[in-house]
Amino acid sequence: MSAGRPAPSRRAAVASPGAPPPDLRLAGLAVAAWLTALTGLHVGVRPLLLVGGTAAVLSALSALHLVGRIGQPRASARRHGWIVVAVGLGVLCGAAATAGRLAVRDAPPIRVLAEQRAPVTAELVVRDDPRPIRSAGRPGMLLVSSELKRLTGPNGQRVHTSARLLVLATDPGWRGLLPGQRVTAEGRLGVPRGGDLTAAVLGVTGPPERHGAPSWAQRAAGTLRGGLQRACAPLPDDPGGLLPGLVVGDISRLPPAVEEDFRATGMTHLNAVSGSNVAIVLGAVLLVARWARAGPWLAGLLCAVALVGFVILVRPSPSVVRAATMGAIGLVALAAGRPRAALPALAAAVTVLVLADPELAGDAGFALSVLATGGLLLLAPRWRDGLRRRGVPAGLAEALAVPAAAQVACGPVVAGISGTVSLVAVPANLLAVPAIAPATVLGVTAAVLSPVWPAGAGFVAWLASWPAWWLVVLARHGARLPAGTLPWPGGAWGALLLAGLTVALLVAARRPLVRRLVAIVALAALLGALPVRLLATGWPPTGWVVVACAVGQGDALVLPVAPGRAVVVDAGPDPGAVDGCLRRLGIREVPLLVVSHFHVDHVGGVAGVFRGRRVTAVLTPPSTDPASGRDAVRAAAMSGRAALLGTTAGALHRVGGVDLLVLGPPYPLAGTRSDPNNNSLLLRATVAGVRILLPGDAETEEQHAVLARMAPEQLRADVLKVAHHGSAYQDDGFLAAVRPAVALVPVGAGNTYGHPNPALLARLSRSGTRVLRTDTDGDLAAIRTGAGLAVAHRGVPPGRPS
């Protein structure tokens, strides 16, 4: 710097070309420990120890070289040498910590009992809130993460350990457990899927036996959370169900349609406790402290007190502690007057958390928290200052930089998980920024007030419902934008591909010419793709008579009635998937929704059929098993003001040009391999003269019963929707009577049921049937042409691993 020239301010120095690089001294240590732990979860103890030993030798040699025992390196060489030492130490520490936990996980006494599926009695401590999971075979199933303390085997042998255990339970007695609760349960052990520290899976059918009460912190959290729910009870369902999710991650009242909208718009992180929640609460405390002219240390102390209180409110589970650690880093460094210390603090926190719990290395939530925090610390300040230099007002520059930085940092992981790249996530999160902080702060205030002043808590919750309402509206409209998401390769390779492209663009964008070219190409692609998707999508194909939607492991069939109108048979397991298929087909009205039976893989997505559409009537089977599926369909019909209709074998239902003849079940079947499957509605649809057989999940028993009561020509069809996702339970005589030209198999990629059965597919192919599958071909269509029957498919569905 020349003499007499004023020194630049701290903020200008950060943004200037000659600004010092970010402090990444501990980054190598953190990344090495993280990646080593992640690798160890999948490869086991022995390879991990070999990697750790090699890293120890390399670190020792590098350290000796640096202290001058081998030579005297230059300054640049010393910097690179210390990087090697830090990486080696990270690998060594990560390998040691993970190997120790893997030795406990793979201990022979537990592993042998798990492989034998032995009946055991387990004493355990609940680690996190029980959460519901979807299961076609066992509706209402809960997943309970726990820590095993003692195990009693079938012969009375006892194993004392401290290993991770996953409990799969259906009894309602598990639903109200709090983290830290000690319980005893009886069930059968099973082998876990791997890739984490879970030693075994315990399947239980009965309730737990509780021992003592949870800690005072968990009881206080339960009181505050219950008070927040009571304060939100009078509010409308959408904002009232969202508000507890924004504040404490409680989405028990959140309507499924709203949850799917948030997922499609890239805003689902708002429904869970994350570092952003912590940052908002601590930011409000820090703002008050600065307004009161509190010093850095007093401000830091107030932030610490607020952090402890917030963790108690949302329950001190491992995920919450992780979020609190990530969200507190930047603000604590800022409160201490040393913002540049935030990155080393982040790296140190990552290292400590991974070494304390190596399972976090494979947790997508942990990765998103770390990447979002790193993006806010590394990218957001530079982008904000760059915008300000170009004349953008300070507040707007901050609002633009923060969501963009977080989205760019988290994008590769999100793409790897979902198999899509969201084009609306950044603008949606940008528009959501003004509402998130008021909703969160007011929601926390309502929870704190609820035990002492319920009326005041209700009023504050009503105030908070207005910003929550804006978030609901934003997600609803964002989810309906065409071309809102683009398909992308899923899995690790898809994430690495997007990460590489992102880094390349960030480096190249440092040049003004490249920035202009990228902006022009992105704008041209957006403006060009939108009308193409709206006006010339090529889907659905002209003359289609049936479409089998790619909804994963489930069924959703569409029969056209008129442009924009269709009969829908089943709704698949996921509302977003069936809604996306209907949007691709341009269906705005469903005069009849048919439910073949009430398993979740056929009715779990029923809310997606109603989303933004008028559904006139819902046709249900005589069998009401399972009750949970029946109740979900009835609730959706009531909320959508659709009539509920029953039917029996022999009934004919005509909707426009679509005829639906009910062929089965001819009578209630009982004592079969699966009674709900074998009481599926078995339908023969006729569309434009094409016969389509839709047997739901009918297995051998129902197929045989239907065949025995009618002539084979009544079963003859041009198109067969293969029953039960192509399972092996098919009646040969039934298939011979149908003799389809086309067979459509709705099935999920990578399912654990062995669907579809290879022998069945080979049998159909040998008979001259053209077989298509949704897991490999995407949405499937049968088409009536002048020359006969044709088929088309839309490609591999988004989210399928490459």
Query: Is residue 784 within 8 Å of 545, Cβ to Cβ?
Result: yes
pLDDT for 592 beyond 90: yes
pLDDT score recorded for residue 518: 64
pLDDT of 515: 62
pLDDT above 60: residue 3: no
What is the average pLDDT across 736-761?
Answer: 87
Q: Of the given ranges (58-67, 116-125, 542-551, 582-591), which has the lowest mean pLDDT?
A: 58-67
Asked if 699 and 678 touch (Cβ cutoff 8 Å), the reply is yes
What does the CA dihedral 70, 71, 72, 77 come to, rounded to 10 degrees? Answer: -90
Angle formed by the axes of helices 45-66 and 75-105, nearest 10°: 160
Query: Could you tell me the sign of the dihedral formed by the alpha carbons of 454, 457, 459, 462, in that order?
Result: negative
Q: Read off the pLDDT band of 552 (50, 70, 90).
A: confident
How high does pLDDT run on average in the chain? 80
534, amino acid identity: L
Highest mean pLDDT out of 249-258, 430-439, 478-487: 430-439
Question: What global pTM score does this model have?
Answer: 0.62
For residue 19, pLDDT over 60 is answered with no
CB-CB contact of 246 with 213 (8 Å): no
The pLDDT assigned to 107 comes to 86
User: Does residue 300 have a pLDDT over 80?
Assistant: no
Q: 492-501, 558-567, 640-649: which has the minimum mean pLDDT? A: 492-501
Please state, in angstroms and rounded to a whole number, the distance separating the CA atoms of residues 367 and 736.
Answer: 52
CB of 497 within 8 A of CB of 505? no
The residue among 557, 575, 577, 579 whose CA lies nearest residue 567 is 557
- DSSP states of 410-440 as a string? HHHHHHHHHSEEESSHHHHHHHHHHHHHHHH
pLDDT number for residue 623: 87
CB count within 10 Å of CB 105 equals 24
pLDDT greater than 90 at residue 766: no
Flag whether pLDDT at 70 surpasses 60. Answer: no
**750 vs 114, higher pLDDT:** 114
* pLDDT-derived band at 156, boundaries 50, 70, 90: confident
Backbone angles phi, psi at 597, to 5 degrees: -165, 175
CA distance to 273, 723, 748, per residue, from 756 (Å)? 39, 10, 9
How much is the pLDDT for 596?
Answer: 94
What's the pLDDT at 483?
A: 55
Q: How far apart are CA 184 and CA 122, in angstroms?
A: 6
Question: Regarding predicted confidence, which is higher, 415 or 96?
Answer: 96
pLDDT score of 798: 39
Q: How far is CA 589 from the centre of its chain?
A: 29
The secondary structure of residue 268, as a DSSP letter, is G
d(CA 97, CA 2): 52
- pLDDT beyond 70 at 759: yes
Q: Closest by alpha carbon to 445, among 698, 246, 708, 187?
A: 246
Tokens of 768: 């001259």
Helix (H) or strand (E) holding 683: strand 682-687
Instruction: Compute the average pLDDT of residues 520-528.
Output: 59
End-to-end CA distance of the chain, in Å?
A: 54
Secondary structure of residue 215 in the 3-state scheme: coil
Number of helices (H) and strands (E) in the chain: give both, helices first.
29, 24
Residues 6+ apart with CB under 8 A from 112: none
Label residue 1 by pLDDT band (50, 70, 90): very low
Note the pLDDT tens digit of each residue in 479-517: 666 556 666 776 777 788 888 888 887 777 677 776 667
Q: Which residue from 275, 258, 255, 278 is spatially nearest to 267, judged by alpha carbons?
A: 258
**Residue ranges with strand state E in 170-273:** 182-190, 198-204, 209-211
For residue 512, give the amino acid letter: P
Q: What is the 3-state secondary structure (H, E, C) of 277-314?
A: HHHHHHHHHHHHHHHCCCCHHHHHHHHHHHHHHHHHHH
Rg (CA), the chain: 29
State the number of CA atoms in the 13 A half-sphere of 429 facing the CB: 23
Sign of the torsion angle spanned by Cα atoms 365, 371, 373, 376: negative
Residue 17 has pLDDT above 80, yes or no: no
Is residue 526's pLDDT more than 50? yes
Average pLDDT over residues 397-412: 77
Q: Do residues 717 and 692 lie in contact, with contact meaning Cβ atoms separated by under 8 Å?
A: yes
Alpha helices in 44-154 (DSSP H): 45-66, 75-105, 108-115
Instruction: Say if residue 531's pLDDT is above 50.
Output: no
More confident residue, 720 or 130: 720
pLDDT exceeding 90 applies to what percent of the chain?
Answer: 18
d(CA 607, CA 255) in angstroms, rounded, equals 9
Residue 586 structure tokens? 């341009």
Pairing of strands 485-487, 209-211: unpaired
Tell me which of 270-274, 297-301, 654-658 is least confident.
Answer: 270-274
Residues 6+ apart with CB under 8 A from 68: none
Least confident of 15-19, 609-613, 681-685, 771-775: 15-19
Nearest C-alpha neighbor of 42 from the set 133, 114, 105: 105
CB contact at 8 A, 596 and 560: no
How many C-beta atoms lie closer than 10 Å to residue 10's C-beta? 10
pLDDT band at 363 (very low <50, low <70, confident <90, very high): confident
Residues belonging to the chain:
802
Write down the residue that tokens 């028993």 correspond to: 701
Q: Does pLDDT of 472 surpass 60?
A: yes
Point out which residues pair with 687 in neighbouring strands.
658, 690
Residue 691, pLDDT above cutoff 90: yes
Among the listed ranges 7-21, 184-198, 629-643, which one has the minimum average pLDDT value?
Answer: 7-21
Residue 135 is which amino acid?
Answer: S
Q: What whole-number distance in Å separates Cα of residue 266 and Cα of residue 471?
A: 12
Residue 248 corresponds to which tokens in the numbers above?
């404490």
Confidence of residue 292 (pLDDT cuts 50, 70, 90): confident
Angstrom distance (rounded) from CA 336 to CA 329: 11
Beta strands 565-569; 557-562: pairing state:
antiparallel
374-393: pLDDT as tens digits: 887 788 888 888 888 888 88
Q: What pLDDT shows up at residue 9?
A: 37
pLDDT exceeds 60 at position 799: no
Q: What is the dihedral of CA 176, 182, 187, 192, to 10 degrees?
A: 90
Residue range 166-171: mean pLDDT, rounded: 88
Q: Of the ranges 138-152, 330-344, 353-367, 479-493, which one carries the lowest mean pLDDT score? A: 330-344
